[in-house]
Amino acid sequence: MRLLSLTLKSMRQRKAGVALTVFTVALSVFLLLGVERVRTDARLGFASTVSGTDLLVGARSGPVTLLLYSIFHVGEATNNITWKSYQDIRAMPEVAWTVPLSLGDSHRGFRVTGTNSDFFVHYHYGRGNALAFASGQPFSDLYDAVIGSEVAHQLRYKVGDRIVLSHGLGGANLATHADKPFRVSGVLAPTGTPVDASIAVSLEAIEAIHVDWHSGIRLPGMEASAEQARHMDLTPKAITATLVGLHSRLSAFAVQSAINDYPEEPLLAVLPGVALGELWHLVGTAESALRVVSAMVLLVGMSGMLTALLGMLGERRREMAVLRAVGASTRTVFALLVMESTLLTAAGMIAGVVLLDATTAVAHNYLLATAGLVIDQNPAPGEWLLLVVVLALGSLAGCIPGWIAYRRSLADGLQVRL
Amino acid sequence: MSAAQPLLRTRALRHFWPDGGHALALEDLAAARGESLFLHGPSGSGKSTLLGLLAGVLAPSSGDVLILETSFSSMSAAARDRFRANHLGYIFQQFNLLPFLTPIENVLLGCAWSAERKKRAGGTHVRMAAEAQRLLSSLGLGAHVWSRTKTGELSVGQQQRVAAARALIGGPALLLADEPTSALDASSRDAFLKLLLEECAIYGTGVVFVSHDLALARHFDRTVALASAPVES
């Protein structure tokens, strides 16, 4: 009789126990991989807050500072880039595209980014995802604004709503640009990046709401109405930072040093990935915490799995004894037990992975919207190793009763009334 | 096959239980090929222990068991396993069948781990299955029973026939039986024994049948009383 068919027939006899064991293994695998995926995706999601951008350029400060104010909207820029410098960068032969970012205004605590419609084309996050619109479209009119998903969610805005921007970045009693209200033209889908909590308008709009302002105050007697502003020269004088895409990644370092050595004003170009990595080091304790959780889950999951497997195999003691008594060698008994625990573990692993994939598929949008967490359905890189460890442990679990059976099953079979 | 060819011999067999309180000493035992031996002893006289020793499952404290002139003590554990699979059939008091297999599959387990017995049972799966069916039928288990019932659903008497067929398939040289009829009433017990011994005769299988029931002795070539009750060591 083939050992496999014997095992399968024996397992069919113990359906409930088998189902329970597979379920336990599946849960362990589910937890193990789930925590691992959350951990990796939290890091990856952070590391790819901005992806596809080769260089991030701003006024000279530190790489992390530049990243914090231009991408994460934390803190303020110490200085700006002149429009001329921006044009010079644009004109460099290696540069494929640029997306200007002009910061400094806000709306009810959410930052406003002045940019152009290339932002929706070139700003990528995660594994190269472009921004998507949940509703509406990019700004077309001067006074159009596109809001991030969190803005829409918290302030209950929808396409067509009128909003008024404030001058400055926070605090009470901000002067408002009440004379030039904006219309929400689009709502972005959730991304899990700071874009969710920001409002994008055109660079010209930023210019328009400031035409009658100087040094942070509105100039008395020089008011220009929203309509009048439309006919004025709205070319920006300066921007805060720019995303730069290159034709070839290979030229990143050359362009970076060219920008850093730009003679007309002190600029700083950083590779976003490098700066993000530096920043992650600062906030990386969260990952260490997850790593500890991961290790504990591994321990508990494996213990649960081993307990279930050992219990299951214990039920086969009598069967092993019978087989030994009719001439099966100890090696055969060993093989049967290891085969069963391997089969159970493999089935549990498959069930666990399917369960995890189903859960991530279902919970994907919910997690993105509530936790800003992008959980990828793709396996995390360490996952295969984990699965191999689980399978090895499962097979090893079969060796324990295998070893016990090795020592006692023959005598059991002939004498013990099991 | 001559009856003079030795099948089984024991030499100064002694067994001490691990607790140290009791010991079993046996007079030397001998059986020729094809001979059927009735081993009689009261409960607690060490019958099962003796069968364990004869099957090479238990290692004697001293002395030796030789089957087909091969000494168990000279073999490695793995070699003993192979030897047992090839030459011994064992009918348990509890039958020890696997309830989730069909009766035929249970019978085939008897030769599953021995190339020699497979060959003697026909070699191919089809022939072995046919042999298993023949054995079951000759032992009084009709096709209407083994063809559609799981082993676990059989009655005690039916299970016993399956167990006997499993021990006999592939014609082992020696059949060891541990009170397999204790659950049967007198008339079916006699009928079963008759069929069993007939099958053994076909294969030339020697039998060592252990029981406390002297009434069965008349079916066998020879009766040996298990003379040595456990003694204080």
In chain B, which residue's Cα lies nearest the Cα of A328? B113
Q: Which pLDDT score is estimated for A216?
A: 65
State pLDDT tens for residues A98-127: 999 999 888 888 999 999 989 999 998 877
Q: pLDDT confidence of A254, banded at 50, 70, 90?
A: very high
Place of tokens 């990796």: A40
A2 in B contact zone (CB under 8 Å): no
Give B98→chain A minimum CA distance, Å.
7
Nearest Cα residue in chain B from A332: B113
Instruction: Please indicate if any CB of chain B lies within 8 Å of the CB of A333.
Output: no
Does residue A417 register a pLDDT over 60? no
Alpha carbon A319 to its chain centroid, in Å, reads 50
Helix (H) / strand (E) element for B23: namely: strand B22-25
Residue A27, Ramachandran bin (φ over 0: left; ψ between -120 and 50: alpha; else beta):
alpha
Residue of A9, A327, A332 with shortest CB distance to B84: A327
Cβ of A407 under 8 Å from any chain B Cβ?
A: no
Residue A16 at interface with chain B, using a CB cutoff of 8 Å: no
CB–CB of B100 and A326 under 8 A?
no
Query: Under an 8 A CB cutoff, do B113 and A9 touch?
Result: no
Query: pLDDT class for B227, splitting at 50, 70, 90?
Result: low
Whole-number pLDDT of residue A183:
92
Q: Give the residue with greater pLDDT, A288 vs A262.
A: A262
pLDDT at A260 over 60: yes
Q: Which range has the top average pLDDT, A35-39, A350-354, A385-389, B153-157? A: A350-354
Q: Which residues of B touch A1 (CB under 8 A)?
A: 105, 108-109, 112
Tokens of B105: 């599959």
- Residues, chain B, total? 233
pLDDT value at residue A144: 92
Instruction: State phi, psi for A176 to the nearest 5 degrees.
Output: -110, 160
Give, in degrees to the nearest 5, the angle at Cα B158 between A417 and B148.
Answer: 115
Q: Name the pLDDT band for A416 (thresholds 50, 70, 90).
A: very low
Strands B222-225 and B36-40: parallel
Q: How big is the A-B interface in CB pairs under 8 Å?
A: 70
Enumerate domains of chain B plus CATH numbers.
Answer: 39-57+79-220 (3.40.50.300)
Picking from B15, B51, B98 by the largest number of A CB atoms within 10 A of its own CB, the best residue to mutate is: B98
Q: How far apart are CA B149 and CA B145, in angstroms?
A: 6
Judging contacts by C-beta atoms under 8 Å, the chain A residues touching residue B55 are 414
Model pLDDT, residue B98: 86
Of the candidates A6, A9, A322, the beta carbon closest to that of B96 is on A322
* Whether A405 contacts A333, CB under 8 Å: yes
Asked if residues A35 and A360 have their Cβ atoms less than 8 Å apart, the reply is: no
Q: Which of B48, B96, B108 sits opposite A325 (nearest CB)?
A: B96
In the DSSP assignment, the letter for residue B125 is H
- What residues of A are in contact with residue B96 (Cβ under 8 Å)? 318, 321-322, 325, 413
Taking the Cβ of residue A4 and every Cβ of chain B, the question of whether any pair is shorter than 8 Å is answered with: no
pLDDT tens string B15-64:
877 666 567 777 788 889 889 999 988 777 778 788 888 888 778 888 88
Contact at CB, B48 and A414, closer than 8 angstroms: yes
Calculate how close chain B gets to A412, using CA atoms only, in Å: 10
Buried b (16+ CB within 10 A) or exposed e, A131-159: beeeebebbeebbbbbbbbbbbbebebeb
Exposed, middle or buried: residue A299 (CB in 10 Å: 0-12, 13-18, 19+)? Answer: exposed
Smallest CA–CA distance, residue B42 to chain A, in Å, is 17
B57, B88, B114, B169, best to mutate vs chain A, most A CBs in 10 Å: B57
Closest residue of chain A to B175, computed from CA coordinates: A326
Task: Specify the 3-state DSSP secondary structure of A208.
Answer: helix
ipTM over 0.95: no
- The token duo for A20 is 């329970």
Quote the pLDDT of residue A14. 84
Residues of B within 8 A of A411 (CB-CB) are 52, 57-58
With a cut of 90, say whether residue B122 has pLDDT above it: no
Q: Using an 8 Å Cβ cutoff, are A266 and A60 in contact?
A: yes
Per the CB < 8 A criterion, the answer to whether A343 and A407 are in contact is no
Q: What is the mean pLDDT of chain B?
A: 84
Note the pLDDT of residue A173. Answer: 60
Rounded to 5°, the CA angle B41-B194-B92 comes to 50
The mean per-residue pLDDT over the stretch B174-198 comes to: 86
- In this predicted structure, what is the pLDDT of residue B20? 61
Alpha-carbon gap, residue B159 to B136, rounded angstroms? 10
* Contact flag A9-B112 (C-beta cutoff 8 Å): no
**How far is it, in rounded angstroms, from Cα A325 to Cα A256?**
78
**Nearest chain A alpha carbon to B167:** A326
User: pLDDT class for A97, splitting at 50, 70, 90?
Assistant: very high
pLDDT tens digits along A120-159:
999 988 777 888 899 999 998 889 999 999 899 889 998 9
A172 at the B interface (CB within 8 A)? no
Q: Is A250 exposed, middle or buried (0-12, 13-18, 19+ CB in 10 A)?
A: exposed
Of A1, A410, A417, Cβ closest to residue B94: A417
Mutate to test the interface with B, among A4, A315, A318, A326 (most CBs of B within 10 A): A326
- State the Cα–Cα distance between residues A318 and A335, nearest whole angstrom: 16
**For B46, which residue in chain A has the nearest alpha carbon?**
A415
User: Could you tell me if residue B170 is left (phi over 0), alpha (psi between -120 and 50 degrees) or otherwise beta?
Assistant: left
Q: Centre a 10 Å sphere on the Cβ of residue A108 and count the other Cβ atoms it contains.
A: 14
Identify the CA nearest to A91 among candidates A244, A206, A236, A238.
A244
Q: Which two tokens stand for residue B151?
A: 């082993």
Specify the pLDDT at position A376.
66
Which one of B58, B78, B99 has the shortest CB-CB distance to A329? B78
- Tell me the nearest-neighbour CA distance from A331 into chain B, angstroms: 9
Q: 């082992």: which residue's tokens?
A: B172
SS3 A17: helix
Shortest CA distance to A260 belongs to which of A59, A67, A68, A87? A59
CB atoms closer than 10 angstroms to residue A370: 11
Backbone angles phi, psi at A87, to 5 degrees: -65, -40
Nearest of A340, A323, A324, A402 to residue A13 by alpha carbon? A340
Neighbours of A400 (CB within 10 A): 16
- Is pLDDT above 90 for A190? no
DSSP helix/strand/coil, A327: coil
pLDDT for residue B209 is more than 60: yes
pTM of the predicted model as reported, rounded to 2 decimal places: 0.71
Number of H-type helices and E-type strands within chain B: 8, 11
